[in-house]
C-alpha cells in the first residue's frame, strides 16, 4: 500500500503536476491521521471494555468478602448482646440471693470476648490496581470508609474488651474458679463468697458497659456493608 501511494506521488512529480501533488499529499496525511484516530479509538474501546470487565470481576470478589464479613459481624454482635443481657439477668439474680447452676452457663458466656477478622483480600487487590477502576465515586468512598475506618473501629472495640479480659478476668479465672470452659461455663469455688465481693460485681458491670460501647461500631459496619452491596449490585448484574 505504501509503495502504491509512493508511486502515485512519483508520477505526479514526474508530470510536473505540483498542485495536484500537494493536494494528494494533504489527502494522504489526512488518511494517516484518520487511521491513527481510529486506532486510538479502538484502543480506548478495548481499554474501556477491559476496565468494565475487571470492575465487575473485582466487585464480585469484594461482595463475597463483604458477605463473609457481614456473617461474622452479625454472629459476634449477637454474642455481645446475649452476654450483656445475661449480665443483667445474673446481677438481678445475685441481688436476690439466688445462686444455682444456671449461673455457671451465664458466666461462661459473659466472661469471654468477641473476635472479628475482615476478609479484605479483594479490596487490597483493588487498591494495588487503583481504586479509580471503580467508576462510581460514591462506591469508591464507601469502600474506603468501610475498610479504612469501620473495620478499624470494630478491631479497636474488640481489642479493648479482649485486653480487659486478659488483664481483669484471667487472674480471677485462675484464682476464683474451680472450672472454666470458653463460652460454655465458669464455676466459682464458692458462689456466695464470689458474688459477695463488690469488685467482682463492679467488674461485671464495667465489662458489660465496655462491650456495649463497642456494639455501635459493628452496627455501623453492617450498615456500610449493606450500602456497598446495594451500590455495587448495578455493576455486578450488568
The per-residue DSSP string of 114-139 comes to: -------HHHHHHHHH-GGGSS-HHH
- CA 175 from chain centre, in angstroms, equals 40
Phi, psi of 184, deg, nearest 5: -115, -50
Report the alpha-carbon distance of residue 33 to residue 194 in Å, rounded.
89
Report the alpha-carbon distance of residue 177 to residue 163 in Å, rounded.
20
Give, in order, the Cα–Cα distances in Å from 54 to each of 94, 122, 151, 178.
Answer: 59, 12, 25, 57
What stretches in the chain show pLDDT beneath 50? 1-2, 4-5, 8, 12, 17, 21, 24
pLDDT of residue 101: 83
Sequence length of the chain is 238
Q: Which residues are bridge partners to 130 per DSSP?
A: none
Q: Which three cell numbers stand for residue 23?
A: 493536494
Report the alpha-carbon distance of residue 67 to residue 61 in Å, rounded.
10
DSSP-derived 3-state class of residue 183:
coil
Amino acid at each position: 500500500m505504501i509503495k502504491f501511494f509512493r508511486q502515485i506521488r512519483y508520477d505526479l512529480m514526474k508530470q510536473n503536476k505540483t498542485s495536484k501533488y500537494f493536494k494528494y499529499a494533504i489527502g494522504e496525511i489526512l488518511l494517516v491521521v484518520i487511521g491513527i484516530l481510529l486506532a486510538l479509538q479502538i484502543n480506548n474501546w478495548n481499554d474501556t471494555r477491559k476496565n468494565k470487565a475487571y470492575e465487575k470481576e473485582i466487585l464480585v470478589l469484594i461482595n463475597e468478602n463483604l458477605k463473609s464479613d457481614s456473617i461474622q459481624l452479625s454472629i459476634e454482635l449477637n454474642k455481645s448482646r446475649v452476654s450483656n443481657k445475661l449480665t443483667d439477668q445474673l446481677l438481678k439474680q445475685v441481688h436476690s440471693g439466688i445462686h444455682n447452676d444456671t449461673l455457671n452457663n451465664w458466666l461462661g458466656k459473659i466472661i469471654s470476648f468477641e473476635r472479628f477478622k475482615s476478609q479484605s483480600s479483594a479490596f487490597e487487590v483493588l487498591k494495588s490496581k487503583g481504586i479509580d477502576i471503580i467508576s462510581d465515586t460514591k462506591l469508591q468512598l464507601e469502600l474506603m470508609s468501610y475498610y479504612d475506618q469501620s473495620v478499624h473501629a470494630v478491631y479497636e472495640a474488640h481489642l479493648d474488651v479482649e485486653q480487659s479480659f486478659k488483664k481483669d478476668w484471667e487472674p480471677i479465672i485462675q484464682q476464683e474458679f474451680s472450672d472454666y470452659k470458653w463460652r460454655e461455663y465458669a464455676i466459682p469455688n464458692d458462689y456466695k463468697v464470689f458474688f459477695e465481693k463488690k469488685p467482682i460485681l463492679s467488674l461485671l458491670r464495667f465489662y458489660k458497659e465496655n462491650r456495649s460501647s463497642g456494639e455501635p461500631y459493628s452496627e455501623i459496619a453492617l450498615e456500610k456493608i449493606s450500602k456497598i452491596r446495594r451500590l455495587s449490585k448495578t455493576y455486578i448484574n450488568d
